[in-house]
Structure 1
Amino acid sequence: MTKFRSGLAQLIWLVAALCALILAVGALLVALDANRSNELVHFLLRAADTVDLGVFSRSDGVKQFRGEGADVKNALFNWGLGAVAWLVAGRVLDRIVKP
């Protein structure tokens, strides 16, 4: 049972870290004004939109900026905050599950 819980804790941490990475890369792509017609960029932005869970959405997230550069600011702030939240939640759940 200990091996199972240890493996489950590692899986939880891996998923949380991967979601945080997707959000961070998505925010970076928006900040760098990456070519959105590129399939990889499009896939990563869609993935980031999915893992933000709607709470940290760049269009309707925790904080919304207006004016010049609002898209970049919204992505960096909301997705950055979402990445931190994924890492914190993943670490907490890892500690709870780990024997």
Structure 2
Amino acid sequence: MKAGVSTLRTRVAQVVWLVFVVAALFLAVGALLIALDANRDNGLVKFILDGANTVDLGIFSRNNGIKDFTGNNADVKNALFNWGIGAIVWLVVGRVLERIIRP
């Protein structure tokens, strides 16, 4: 019985970690696409940016995030800073939860 619970907890921890990594990847790749001035009419670019906007939770938003840059290249700076911090937070929280869940 204990082996079954242990296996289940391991699988759940892996799924939790994967979800948090995917969220961090959306933010990191989204910030890169903004910095590279990718074509926002492209379907894949739009999908990544929409996903990043979703997982930034409003706290790490490009438009009203932790830090709001102004002036030249403010959009790029906001994306790199806020989404970069957001990606790091997703990874740290995901790793902590994964360690708590895993037996």
TM range, smaller chain: over 0.9
Matched, 1:15 2:25: no
Rounded Cα–Cα distance in structure 1 between residues aligned with 2:89 and 2:72: 27
Q: List aligned pairs for 1:1-99, cutoff 5 A.
A: 1-99=5-103
TM-score with structure 2 setting the length: 0.95
Q: Tell me how far 1:11 sits from its aligned partner.
A: 0.5
SS in 2 for 1:56: coil
Q: Tell me how far 1:88 sits from its aligned partner.
A: 0.0
Q: Tell me how far 1:77 sits from its aligned partner.
A: 0.1
**Gap regions ≥5 residues in structure 2:** none
Larger Rg: 2
Aligned residues with identical type, % of pairs = 63
Runs (4+) off by over 4 Å: none
**Gap regions ≥5 residues in structure 1:** none
RMSD: 0.5
SS in 1 for 2:92: helix
TM-score with structure 1 setting the length: 0.99
One-letter amino acid matched to 1:56 = F
Q: Tell me how far 1:52 sits from its aligned partner.
A: 0.5
Q: How many residues align?
A: 99
